[in-house]
Amino acid sequence: MSVETHKKEQWATRIGLILAMAGNAVGLGNFLRFPVQAAQNGGGTFMIPYFVSFLILGIPLMWIEWTIGRFGGRFGHGSLPGMFDALTDRKKPWAKYLGVLGLLIPLVIFIYYTYVVSWMLGFSFFSIAGDYFGLGELSQMRQYLYSYQNIFDPSMHGGWLALVFFIITLVFLGWILAKGISGGIEKLALIGMPLLFAFAIVLMIRVLTLPTHAASPAEGLNFIWNPEWSSLGDPKVWLAAAGQMFFTLSLGAGHVHAYASYLDKDEDVTLTGLSTAATNEFAEVVLGGTIAITAAVVFFGVTGAVAIAKGGTFDLGIVAMGVVFQGLPGAAIWGQLFGFLWFFLLFIAGITSCVALATPTIAFLQEQFDWTRKKAAYGIMGVALVLGLTHVVFYNVGFMDEWDYWAGTFGLVVLATIEIILFAHVYGMDRGWKEMHRGADIEVPGIFRPIMKWVTPAFLLVLFAWWGWNDAIPTFLMQSVSNPENIPYRWASRGLIVLMGLVGLYLVRVGWRRSEYESPGG
């Protein structure tokens, strides 16, 4: 790696670091996925497995990822291939290749997630311009969204529109990332996160003071929080809670490590890591749990909200909310304004996650190939544009669903399992515990030691076993795909991920050979 490339990269302030990490974690999942998961999995009782998952999955993995990241940074590594290599004392040649998952997963997610985030920018613009006002039925609003997503359907939008907002978002991201850790990412967090919380609080107050339409706001809260005690015995509810924990804390992808690598070797990770997790939970449980579903119940009643929630997060976050804003008193002004606040809130939440997702690949190119940050940032945006075009063109045949499942769901659990085994059983729990407490502001309770060593890995292996027993074969063979004509496209989508993984393995091989050539004694 080039010392020159990295030596000025650092977080300027601790609060900036925490907000950047929280911005990484707070994303669309907090505001759209969490309330749907809660409502579909037992309401208030969902919070019991949710908090258990927070304690035995979320917090331990968060501390471990921060520790691995800071540890790798000590040796000049900002991405997982180098970190895993260092974690195994450079005695296990395979470790760096396993670390390719820490490049592949965040890059794959970055590409399709950025495309989705660009929709939010588009709908912010459509809201303030009042473009969809007048489409007051769910079916009309759904057609408005589908026409935007499907470039071959010009009924509501030009086919080029989604691409334009995608390019604008990529250019903005490239600009932020090129400015570096403190000059770009940290400044974005220092501006974006307070703005996000302010927008969310304004929207929460507006939703809770809505006049009764089909139902009252209290019924909306009942819908999310009313307990169903029988759900506690259902394994699916526990798995849903565990899955939500991965999504919401951005675990198992490699970008928490990348951010933590820019810490000093004696800088605290225990209190800072816990702070980012707590900030994310506040955004999810207090703000995310109050806005979208509650508004949907108020306007469409419980039955209507159930149907919307079953349609997925975009039906809730875009279609239903689009109709809600049109039904607000004084919609011509306030509806457009609140619509803008909502979609721009989601845009900010998404964009602060996007910059984190791109960071491991940028760090890898800097450390292994001596690329400048600017070159790496714009290079990644170029790759994202080319590969992202597949999602722009083939969205309606399920191209994105494959990436979301294999990288954004399955891949997270795979990488988390690998990293915790490496940390607790290869690097060793004694050394790991000591490393975690280097410069710590709070001592991690001793109970977390056996949790990290045994309980969390066991929990993850149970997740795998359950998946293997119930879902592996049907999912792999795409038995639930309703339209057989889409299957070849979905295989192509999977093939592209495999190809990206192979390129990643090749780059690690070349990068390591290059390092060995440059410093044969290294």
Partner 1 sequence: MQETGLTTFAAVFMGVSMASVTALMVWCFYRILSQPKPGSGVADAGPGPAGGPESGTTG
Spatial separation of the C-alpha atoms in residues 198 and 32, rounded to whole Å: 18
The reply to whether 44 sits near partner 1 by the rule CB under 8 A is: yes
Instruction: Count interface residues toward partner 1 (CB under 8 A).
Output: 76
The reply to whether 13 sits near partner 1 by the rule CB under 8 A is: yes
Span interacting with partner 1, options 129-137, 152-160, 232-240, 268-276, rule CB under 8 A: 268-276
Nearer to partner 1 (CB atom), residue 439 or residue 501:
439
- Minimum distance of partner 1 from residue 131's CB (angstroms): 35
Cβ atoms of 456 and 56 closer than 8 Å? yes
Q: What DSSP letter does each residue of 155-221 carry, written as one string?
A: TTS-TTHHHHHHHHHHHHHHHHHHT-IIIIIHHHHHHHHHHHHHHHHHHHHHHHTPPPSSS-HHHHH
Nearer to partner 1 (CB atom), residue 305 or residue 316:
305
Span interacting with partner 1, options 153-161, 244-252, 271-279, 453-461, rule CB under 8 A: 271-279
* H or E segment to which residue 310 belongs: helix 292-310
Q: Which of 223, 300, 342, 399 binds partner 1 (CB under 8 A)?
A: 223
The 10 Å Cβ neighbour count of residue 515 is: 15
Nearer to partner 1 (CB atom), residue 66 or residue 347:
66
The reply to whether 205 sits near partner 1 by the rule CB under 8 A is: no
Q: Is 9 exposed, middle or buried (0-12, 13-18, 19+ CB in 10 A)?
A: middle
Q: Which of 143, 216, 372, 475 binds partner 1 (CB under 8 A)?
A: 216
- Cα torsion angle, 240, 104, 12, 72, sign: positive
Site for partner 1 in 415-454 (CB under 8 A): 439, 441-442
The reply to whether 6 sits near partner 1 by the rule CB under 8 A is: yes
Cβ atoms of 68 and 423 closer than 8 Å? yes
Site for partner 1 in 349-388 (CB under 8 A): 363, 367-368
Spatial separation of the C-alpha atoms in residues 126 and 377, rounded to whole Å: 29
Q: At what angle do helices 487-518 and 373-394 cross, to 10 degrees?
A: 170
Nearer to partner 1 (CB atom), residue 168 or residue 278:
278
Q: Which of 43, 311, 327, 379 binds partner 1 (CB under 8 A)?
A: 43
Q: Which of 261, 313, 352, 417 binds partner 1 (CB under 8 A)?
A: 261
Spatial separation of the C-alpha atoms in residues 436 and 443, rounded to whole Å: 9
Q: Where are the alpha helices (DSSP H) in 14-131?
A: 14-25, 28, 34-40, 47-53, 59-74, 80-87, 93-98, 101-128
Nearer to partner 1 (CB atom), residue 5 or residue 486:
5
Nearer to partner 1 (CB atom), residue 425 or residue 513:
513
Of the candidates 280, 273, 242, the one whose C-alpha atom is nearest the C-alpha of residue 27 is: 280
Q: Is 134 exposed, middle or buried (0-12, 13-18, 19+ CB in 10 A)?
A: exposed
Spatial separation of the C-alpha atoms in residues 67 and 465, rounded to whole Å: 28
Q: Which of 24, 37, 41, 45 binds partner 1 (CB under 8 A)?
A: 45
Coil, strand, or helix at residue 130?
A: coil
Site string for partner 1, 272-301 (x = CB under 8 A): x-xx--xx-xx-xxx--x------------
Cβ atoms of 61 and 416 closer than 8 Å? yes
The reply to whether 17 sits near partner 1 by the rule CB under 8 A is: yes
- Minimum distance of partner 1 from residue 402's CB (angstroms): 32
Cβ atoms of 296 and 304 closer than 8 Å? yes
The reply to whether 201 sits near partner 1 by the rule CB under 8 A is: no
- Minimum distance of partner 1 from residue 221's CB (angstroms): 6
Span interacting with partner 1, options 69-77, 171-179, 316-324, 480-488, rule CB under 8 A: 69-77
The reply to whether 60 sits near partner 1 by the rule CB under 8 A is: no
Site for partner 1 in 480-519 (CB under 8 A): 511-512, 515-516, 519
Block residue for tokens 């997702």: 357
Spatial separation of the C-alpha atoms in residues 303 and 294, rounded to whole Å: 13
Nearer to partner 1 (CB atom), residue 114 or residue 275:
275
Nearer to partner 1 (CB atom), residue 283 or residue 397:
283
Q: Is 312 left (phi over 0), alpha (psi -120 to 50) or beta?
A: left
Of the candidates 259, 245, 253, 240, the one whose C-alpha atom is nearest the C-alpha of residue 23 is: 259
The reply to whether 82 sits near partner 1 by the rule CB under 8 A is: yes
Span interacting with partner 1, options 6-14, 148-156, 245-253, 407-415, rule CB under 8 A: 6-14
Q: Which of 26, 32, 36, 47 binds partner 1 (CB under 8 A)?
A: 47
- Minimum distance of partner 1 from residue 7's CB (angstroms): 5
Q: Which of 219, 370, 401, 404 binds partner 1 (CB under 8 A)?
A: 219
Nearer to partner 1 (CB atom), residue 211 or residue 484:
211
Amino acid, single-letter form, for residue 455: V
Nearer to partner 1 (CB atom), residue 325 or residue 427:
427
